[in-house]
Amino acid sequence: MARAVRDAGLDSEQCYRVRDLSLYKEDIRLYFNDGYLIFSKPVAGERIAAVFTADVEGGDGEILLFPPQRGERQSLARFTGSPNLDEHFQAAVMMFTDSSARDLLENIEKQGSGRKVPEMAPLLSEQWTPVVSNILDSFAPRIAGDLLSPGRTDGLLFAALGGKKLGNFDVVYDPKAPEQILAGQLMERNQRVTYDIWTSFVARRFRTAAATPSEPGFKMTKFRIEASLDETLRLRAVTRATVQIGSLPLRAFAFEISRAEQVTAARIDGAPAELLTRESARSRALRADENEVFLVTSPDLLAPGSVHQMEFEHEGDLITSPGNGVYAVGARANWYPRSGPAFANYELVFRYPKRLTLVTAGDIVADRTEGDWRFTERRTPAPIRVAGFNLGDYEKSSSTAAGLTVDVFGNRRLDPALQPPPKTTTITEVLPQNPRAPRRDQVTTIVQNVPPPDPLARLNAVATDVSACFQYFSVLFGPPALKTLTVSPIPGTFGQGFPGLVYLSTLSYLAPQERPAAARSATLQTFFSDLMVAHEVAHQWWGNVVSGKSYQDDWLLEALAHYSALLWIEKKKGSRALEDVMADFQADLLKAGEDGQSVESAGPVTWGYRLEAAKSSEAFRAITYEKGAWILHMLRKRLGNDRFLKVLADLRRQYEFRAVSTADFLDLIKKSLPPGVTPESMDTFFDNWVYSTGIPTIRVRYSVKGKVAPWKISGTLEQSAVDKNFSVDIPVEIQFAKGASQTVWVRTSSEPTGFSATLKQPPLRVSVPAGSGVLAVRK
Ligand SMILES: [Zn+2]
C-alpha cells in the first residue's frame, strides 16, 4: 500500500484546464482561478493527490483563511504581516485522504469549470511527479493507514502552496488533530530546520459543537518491556502492549519511537504483522519532536472494542557518553513504541552490565546478579504516563519517612563538561637588565591544572532536599502515585521529571562555588541548588498524576511545577526568597528580545511549543515557566493562600490519572472564590494573563482629606504599556504608622480608575508595594 502510494504517479486521463474552480474545506478556501489541474492515479480506488499550476497566461490561484480568534490573528500577522491569510499562488501540490478529490472532480463535471487536456499531461508529469512522490512518500504511513481504515471520516487534506508573496507554505486540515486547521512554513533558522506555525485552530464544524473531534482509534493500557543492554550499551528490547480498539474497526496502527532506534518486527496476537517506517523532515517538524512514526498493519480488520496483544522488537544506540564513565539516555521518553500520552501500567525488565547501576520506575519484583550481568524487574503500582530509565556508575543516598522513599544517585566520576579549563599564568621578564642592549622579553607561560570539582559534593544535600519537598508536596497535594522517587544525574543544564524518576542536571550535584563560571550568578545558583530539584519533584503530581489535554495546556503543568518549587523555597527560606525569584522572572519577561520587543510579547502562555518559533530565543522558557508561575502567584494573592492551595488539592483529586485543560482549571478556581471576587473577574483575569499578552505599567496618585478622624483618601490608578482592553485587579495598600495595613482592590482600565477609602488613622503611604503579587511595572 505504501509503495502504491509513493508510486501513484499522475494520471494523463485526469488532466484539466480549469477556470473558477474552488475547494472549500471548513475554514480553508482554495480558488483555482485559471490554470491546469492534474490528479494522481487512484490507489485503493481513491485519488490521493493533485497538482494545480497557474502556468498559463493570466493564471492564478488564491487561498483565503481567516483565523477565528484574536490571538491566532496576531500570530498569523507576526509571520505574514497580515491577520488574515489572503495569498495568490503559482502552484499547489495537494495530498488528500478525505473527499477533496471527489469534490473537485464533481465540481469540474457539474459546474463545467474544467475541460480535459490530456496533451498537457506529459509535460506536467515530467515537471511535478518527483515533487508529488516526495510529499506522498513523507506522508505514506498516514495515507496508507487512512486507506486501510474503512468507515473513517477523518481523512486529511494537505496543500503545499507556492505563494506569490509568502514563498512556499502549507495549509492542513486534519480531523485527527486537536486543532484541525494549520498554516505554516518550513524554515531554516540558525542552521536548524524548524516549522513555523503561523496559525493553528479548531475547524468550524468542531467550534459549533455540531461535531465532536475524532477519538483515538485505539489505546494502550498495559506494557511489558524486556530490555537488554549489551557490553557496548546497545539496547535490544521486546515491548508487549495491550491494545484496545476504539469505536471503529481498525487495521492500521500508528506508533512513535525515537529516531535512534529501529523497529525490526511486530506481531499482533502472536502473528507477524506488517511494518512500515517512513517519515520526512516536514512531517517530523510538524510534530516538533525527535520521533519517527511507524505503522503496524494487521492482516485482518480488528473489531471495535476488542483487546489485542501487540509485540514489537526494537533496538538502537540510545546510551551516549560524554566520557569519563558518565552516561546519558537519549530519547528518554520514546525508547519504546508509544501512541499518544495515556496512563498505563508497566512491567519493566532490564539486563545490563553489572559494573553499572540502572534506575527506573516501579516497585522491585526481582533484582539479581548472574556472572557479569545484573537483572532487575519492576512493576508500577499505579498507572503512569511514560516509563523512563537511567544508568551510570553511581553513589547512592537514601531515606524513608512517612511511607515515602527517596533514592538519590550521583555520578562517582565527573561529567567532563564540568572540568574547569587549566589555569594559564603568564610571567614576562624584561631582558637584559642593561637598558642600552636591545630588549628581548622573556615570556613564560605556566599551565596549571585545576583540581576537578567533586561530582558528589551535594549528593546528601540533594537527598535531604528532595526528601523534604517530596513530603511537603504530599501534604499539600495528596500522596504521589509512586511512593518511591529516584533521582539520577543527567549531563547538561536541564532536568526532567518522569513518573518515579527525576533526571537532575549534573550541575546541581556540585558545590555552588565549583560550578562553571557561567552558572555562578545568584539566579542560576538558586536555579541549580533549589528551583530545579523541587520543580522536577513537583512533576510527580503536575504532569505525572494530572497530565495536560493538549499543547495549549502544557504551560499549566510547567507553571504548577515551577510555582510548587517556589512554595517550597518560600517554606524553606521565607517569602523574601520567593519574591526575589519572582522579581527575576519579571525582569526576564520585560527584557527586549532579538526583535526589540519584550520577551513576554511573543505570545500568550497557551501557545506552548509554538513560542519556540518566536523571534526571541528566550520566549518559550520565560513565558511558559516564568510568566506561568506569575499567573499562579497572582491567583494565589487574589484567592488567598488557603483557597489557592485547596484549588491545587482539588485539581489533583479530580483529575487523578486524567488530562486537564486550561478551561477546566479556570472552572475549578471559580468554585473556590473568596467573597467579593466574581466568576466574571476570573474570566477577565484569564483573558488578560493567560490568553493574551501584556505587562502593564501602573501608577498610583492620591490625596488625603481631613485633619481629624475619619480621614478620607481618594486616588486614581493609571495603567499604560498595554492594549486598551487590558484590565487587571491591583491591590492598593494603605499603610499606617501603627497597625496592619489595609488593601483596596482596584480594577484598571485604559482610563485612570478612581478609588477611595475612609480611615480611622492618617495614612502613611498609599502604594502598590513590591511583593504585592502583581506582574506590573510600578511607577
Ligand atoms: Zn518541567
Q: What are phi and psi of 434, to 5 degrees?
A: -70, 115
The yes-or-no verdict on residue 325 having pLDDT over 80 is yes
Q: How far is the CA of 629 from the centre of ligand 1 (A)?
A: 12
Q: How far is the CA of 523 from the centre of ligand 1 (A)?
A: 18
Q: What angle do CA 284, 287, 292 make, to 5 degrees?
A: 45
Q: How far is the CA of 448 from the centre of ligand 1 (A)?
A: 39
> Nearest Cα to 79, choosing from 204, 166, 207, 10?
166
Q: What is the DSSP letter of 80?
A: H
Span 388-402, pLDDT tens digits: 999 999 999 999 998
Q: Which three cell numbers stand for residue 278?
A: 517512513
195 beta partners:
186
Q: Is-contact 319 341, C-beta < 8 A? A: no
Span 518-562, pLDDT tens digits: 999 999 999 999 999 999 999 999 999 999 988 899 999 999 999
When pLDDT is averaged across residues 704-729 and rounded to a whole number, the result is: 89
Question: How confident is residue 288, by pLDDT bands cut at 50, 70 and 90?
Answer: very low
Q: How far is the CA of 594 from the centre of ligand 1 (A)?
A: 25
> Residue 182 and residue 170: Cα distance in Å, rounded?
8
Q: How far is the CA of 461 from the centre of ligand 1 (A)?
A: 21
The yes-or-no verdict on residue 162 having pLDDT over 80 is yes
Question: How confident is residue 426, by pLDDT bands cut at 50, 70 and 90?
Answer: confident
CA 702 to chain centre: 45
More confident residue, 132 or 423: 132
How far CA 768 is from CA of 304, 580, 702, 735, in Å, comes to 60, 17, 12, 11
Q: How far is the CA of 55 from the centre of ligand 1 (A)?
A: 51
Q: How far is the CA of 481 from the centre of ligand 1 (A)?
A: 18
Q: How far is the CA of 291 from the centre of ligand 1 (A)?
A: 20
Q: How far is the CA of 560 from the centre of ligand 1 (A)?
A: 9
The yes-or-no verdict on residue 335 having pLDDT over 80 is yes
> Nearest Cα to 340, choosing from 548, 158, 510, 155?
548
The yes-or-no verdict on residue 282 having pLDDT over 60 is no
Question: What letter represents residue 547's amino acid?
Answer: S
Residue 49, SS3 per DSSP: strand
Among 101-105, 480-484, 607-611, the least confident range: 607-611
Q: How far is the CA of 190 from the centre of ligand 1 (A)?
A: 25
Q: How far is the CA of 559 from the centre of ligand 1 (A)?
A: 8
The answer, yes or no, to whether the previous bond of 432 is cis (omega within 30 of 0) is yes
Q: How far is the CA of 410 from the centre of ligand 1 (A)?
A: 20
The yes-or-no verdict on residue 280 having pLDDT over 60 is no
Span 58-105, pLDDT tens digits: 999 999 999 998 888 988 998 899 999 999 999 999 999 999 999 999
pTM of the model: 0.88
The answer, yes or no, to whether the previous bond of 516 is cis (omega within 30 of 0) is no
Q: How far is the CA of 346 from the centre of ligand 1 (A)?
A: 23
CA atoms within 13 A on the CB side of 12: 8
501 phi-psi bin (left φ>0, alpha ψ -120 to 50, beta other): beta
227 CB burial (10 A radius; 0-12, 13-18, 19+): buried
Q: How far is the CA of 126 from the centre of ligand 1 (A)?
A: 50
When pLDDT is averaged across residues 101-117 and rounded to a whole number, the result is: 93
Residue 244, SS3 per DSSP: strand
The yes-or-no verdict on residue 165 having pLDDT over 70 is yes
Q: How far is the CA of 557 from the centre of ligand 1 (A)?
A: 7
Q: What is the DSSP letter of 343?
A: -
Q: How far is the CA of 730 from the centre of ligand 1 (A)?
A: 29
When pLDDT is averaged across residues 137-154 and rounded to a whole number, the result is: 83
Q: How far is the CA of 561 from the centre of ligand 1 (A)?
A: 6
Q: How far is the CA of 553 from the centre of ligand 1 (A)?
A: 13
Going by their DSSP bridges, the two strands 28-40 and 10-25 should be labelled as antiparallel
Q: How far is the CA of 335 from the centre of ligand 1 (A)?
A: 20
> Residue 74 and residue 72: Cα distance in Å, rounded?
5
Residue 91, SS3 per DSSP: strand
Average per-residue pLDDT for the chain: 91
The yes-or-no verdict on residue 633 having pLDDT over 70 is yes
Q: How far is the CA of 563 from the centre of ligand 1 (A)?
A: 11
More confident residue, 731 or 154: 731
Q: How far is the CA of 541 from the centre of ligand 1 (A)?
A: 11
Q: How far is the CA of 536 from the centre of ligand 1 (A)?
A: 6
Q: Is-contact 130 231, C-beta < 8 A? A: no
Q: How far is the CA of 718 from the centre of ligand 1 (A)?
A: 36
Going by their DSSP bridges, the two strands 319-323 and 697-705 should be labelled as unpaired
Q: Give every CB contact of residue 603 below 8 A, 6+ residues apart in sequence.
A: 71, 74, 75, 78, 610, 611, 614, 619, 623, 693
> Residue 155 and residue 47: Cα distance in Å, rounded?
12
Q: How far is the CA of 540 from the centre of ligand 1 (A)?
A: 10
Q: Which three cell numbers stand for residue 252?
A: 492500521
The yes-or-no verdict on residue 439 having pLDDT over 80 is no
Q: What is the pLDDT of residue 612?
A: 82
Q: How far is the CA of 472 from the centre of ligand 1 (A)?
A: 18
> Residue 409 and residue 619: Cα distance in Å, rounded?
33
The yes-or-no verdict on residue 469 having pLDDT over 70 is yes
More confident residue, 287 or 64: 64
Q: How far is the CA of 535 from the centre of ligand 1 (A)?
A: 6
Q: Is-contact 428 441, C-beta < 8 A? A: yes
Q: How far is the CA of 441 from the centre of ligand 1 (A)?
A: 56
Q: How far is the CA of 532 from the centre of ligand 1 (A)?
A: 8
> Residue 672 and residue 670: Cα distance in Å, rounded?
5
Q: How far is the CA of 558 from the centre of ligand 1 (A)?
A: 5
Span 27-52, pLDDT tens digits: 999 999 999 999 999 999 999 999 99
Q: How far is the CA of 406 from the centre of ligand 1 (A)?
A: 19
Q: Is-contact 319 391, C-beta < 8 A? A: yes
Q: Is the dihedral of CA 600, 602, 607, 611 positive or negative?
A: negative
> Residue 687 and residue 727: Cα distance in Å, rounded?
9
Q: What is the pLDDT of residue 210?
A: 64
> Residue 560 and residue 543: Cα distance in Å, rounded?
9
Q: How far is the CA of 496 from the centre of ligand 1 (A)?
A: 6
Q: How far is the CA of 108 from the centre of ligand 1 (A)?
A: 53
Among 249-263, 604-618, 655-669, the least confident range: 604-618
Q: How far is the CA of 393 from the centre of ligand 1 (A)?
A: 26
Q: Which three cell numbers stand for residue 691?
A: 490568553
Q: Is-contact 235 315, C-beta < 8 A? A: yes
Residue 561, SS3 per DSSP: helix
Q: How far is the CA of 311 from the centre of ligand 1 (A)?
A: 31
> Residue 242 and residue 250: Cα distance in Å, rounded?
15
Q: How far is the CA of 648 from the centre of ligand 1 (A)?
A: 17
Among 247-256, 354-363, 528-537, 694-703, the least confident range: 247-256
Q: How far is the CA of 671 from the centre of ligand 1 (A)?
A: 27
Q: What is the DSSP letter of 518?
A: G
Within 10 Å of residue 754's Cβ, how many Cβ atoms? Answer: 11
Within 10 Å of residue 367's Cβ, how many Cβ atoms? Answer: 11
- Listed ranges 176-190, 478-492, 601-615; the one with the highest mean pLDDT: 478-492
Q: How far is the CA of 654 from the centre of ligand 1 (A)?
A: 21
Q: How far is the CA of 550 from the centre of ligand 1 (A)?
A: 16
Q: How far is the CA of 236 from the centre of ligand 1 (A)?
A: 29
Q: How far is the CA of 586 from the centre of ligand 1 (A)?
A: 19
> Residue 550 and residue 555: Cα distance in Å, rounded?
10
Q: What is the pLDDT of residue 434?
A: 66
391 beta partners:
358
The yes-or-no verdict on residue 278 having pLDDT over 80 is no
Q: How far is the CA of 528 from the centre of ligand 1 (A)?
A: 14
Q: How far is the CA of 512 from the centre of ligand 1 (A)?
A: 22
Q: What is the pLDDT of residue 724?
A: 85
Q: How far is the CA of 117 from the centre of ligand 1 (A)?
A: 58
Q: How far is the CA of 624 from the centre of ligand 1 (A)?
A: 10
Residue 300, SS3 per DSSP: strand
Q: How far is the CA of 543 from the centre of ligand 1 (A)?
A: 8
Going by their DSSP bridges, the two strands 697-705 and 777-778 should be labelled as parallel
Q: How far is the CA of 632 from the centre of ligand 1 (A)?
A: 15
Widest distance between CA atoms in the chain: 106
Within 10 Å of residue 411's Cβ, how many Cβ atoms? Answer: 24
Question: How confident is residue 588, by pLDDT bands cut at 50, 70 and 90?
Answer: very high
Q: What is the pLDDT of residue 287?
A: 47
Q: What is the DSSP letter of 113?
A: -
Q: How far is the CA of 605 from the centre of ligand 1 (A)?
A: 14
Span 297-322, pLDDT tens digits: 999 999 999 999 999 999 999 999 99
* Residue appearing with cell numbers 642600552: 436
Question: What is the rounded end-to-end Cα distance, in angstroms, of the chain?
Answer: 67
Q: What is the DSSP string of 157-193?
A: EEEEEEETTTEEEEEEE-TTSSS-EEEEEEEEETTEE
Q: What is the pLDDT of residue 413?
A: 96
266's enclosing H/E stretch is: strand 261-268
